[in-house]
Structure 1
């Protein structure tokens, strides 16, 4: 926890960006009956029954100190998809960075050693040399600022039925463009000192030395 909190309060360094990464999903659902729009004296109404059309995985990366956000949509959430997202960070989004520091949770697919499953050893080693992974503790996913962006995405874009994958992609892309144009920085206030006071019950009691 303190490792993540400390990195959040370091000054901005374009050569060592801090990127938060997390995943979520969206079930594709459509209306069986057309919704009834709002009218004088009546609110909009939507039938509780719906048509299913599968589910998509959303992979979100955000740099809190610049307001940049990127969302990729895939069929599955496996180690290979995570590797693809990290390669995109290194090759497309931060090609000039010396070290990309990624905050993420301890999901078993978030395994740096897996680079060696998908690349020759020298290439895998070269990628890993450019990353520094900072994992949130178990039951501490709230420490990942990517969850803040995912919450915003759900409220502003995903809070309705979307049936077609193409519609989902276009809607998420439009949301991403608006979000990046707004330069919405995340002002993280919680510090290590705050944690030692407010979460002191999580800390072990120091042993007494005779």
Structure 2
């Protein structure tokens, strides 16, 4: 007659912990198995009954019942040193990551790849790929940008952000800029529409029918857009647009956020603005037009209308742009501010 395993008794907190592990979808399956063995043992099931119920070997049941009886819940954890020892230590992984962040020699080219890094360091391709993935390093990608040299960057940036987050009472905040040289391109061959297993295709060759320019304002806290096509991008055109904005908001203070374009900061423009007390110009820092929310909307316009559009004339281009703006305003909403104040979460 086989010996009966000693009874397993669970405290209330221990049972709650084990049951929680069994129910949780994020618990590792090995931990779920160990918890279930202990829970079944607490129901006075024999080892062979637990073995049959869970589909495991009898030594596995005996091992985890014994570990629990000796060390309670801590006994269900893996002992230190479990599993295969890593072939590559932390120092090597750090060297791979550090090298990936350096400029490669001329013989490699302008940037590293997984294979050139592996060859340069004398390690396997798999470990290089693993390190780059775990550290979110993408040497094959590049993004263009330019730092602002403006010595007053911070106060100017805070002034713009302050208007976004806490506008003055009875004020309308308008983000204003021009989108110039929008080409009216026609294709030399018809568009091939999308089909199953094939994306839409456009001819590489195009015909130019001139360019169009747009002067637009984005009402920051409603998302509404006002725009008009322009022939010239000068002070007179900008002043005319500002006058129309004043007429559109006759009873409110207007705070205009603009970049440092010549038509925005010319003597003629500044002198005209000084005569209108309801109008306040706030300029973004030098080379920081990305702070201007109208740039986000221009990107939407490019993706939705410009990039894949086919236009037979400049007039058709302008008409399509204005039609899109009219439709956009029917469902316009402000851009949501997502920055939480934590630099690491930006």
Query: 324, 327, 335: which is aligned to 1:178?
Result: 327
Query: 318, 337, 340: which is aligned to 1:169?
Result: 318
Q: Do 1:56 and 1:76's aligned partners in 2 also have CA atoms closer than 8 Å?
A: no
Q: Do 2:159 and 2:282's aligned partners in 1 also have CA atoms closer than 8 Å?
A: yes
**TM-score, length-scaled by structure 2:** 0.49
- Compute the RMSD of aligned alpha carbons: 2.5
Q: Does residue 105 in structure 1 map to residue 254 in structure 2?
A: no
Q: Does residue 53 in structure 1 map to residue 209 in structure 2?
A: yes
The 1:186–1:127 alpha-carbon spacing in structure 2 relative to 1, beyond 3 Å, is farther
The 1:113–1:168 alpha-carbon spacing in structure 2 relative to 1, beyond 3 Å, is same
**TM-score, length-scaled by structure 1:** 0.77
Structure showing greater Rg: 2
The 1:65–1:12 alpha-carbon spacing in structure 2 relative to 1, beyond 3 Å, is farther
**Greater shift in the superposed pair: 149-158 or 4-13:** 4-13
Secondary structure of 2:174's counterpart equals strand
Equivalents in 2 of 1:41, 1:2: separation in Å? 49
The 1:127–1:173 alpha-carbon spacing in structure 2 relative to 1, beyond 3 Å, is farther
Aligned to 1:7: 163
The 1:70–1:44 alpha-carbon spacing in structure 2 relative to 1, beyond 3 Å, is same
Aligned to 1:63: 219
The size of the alignment, in residue pairs, is: 186
Equivalents in 2 of 1:116, 1:140: separation in Å? 20
Equivalents in 2 of 1:139, 1:116: separation in Å? 20
Equivalents in 2 of 1:86, 1:56: separation in Å? 20
Secondary structure of 2:282's counterpart equals strand
Q: Does residue 78 in structure 1 map to residue 234 in structure 2?
A: yes
Q: Do 1:112 and 1:128's aligned partners in 2 also have CA atoms closer than 8 Å?
A: no
Q: Do 2:273 and 2:279's aligned partners in 1 also have CA atoms closer than 8 Å?
A: no
Between structures 1 and 2, the one with greater helix share = 2
Q: Do 1:60 and 1:150's aligned partners in 2 also have CA atoms closer than 8 Å?
A: no
Equivalents in 2 of 1:141, 1:176: separation in Å? 22
Higher relative contact order (CA 8 A, sep 6+): 1
Q: Which runs of 5+ in 2 are unaligned?
A: 1-156
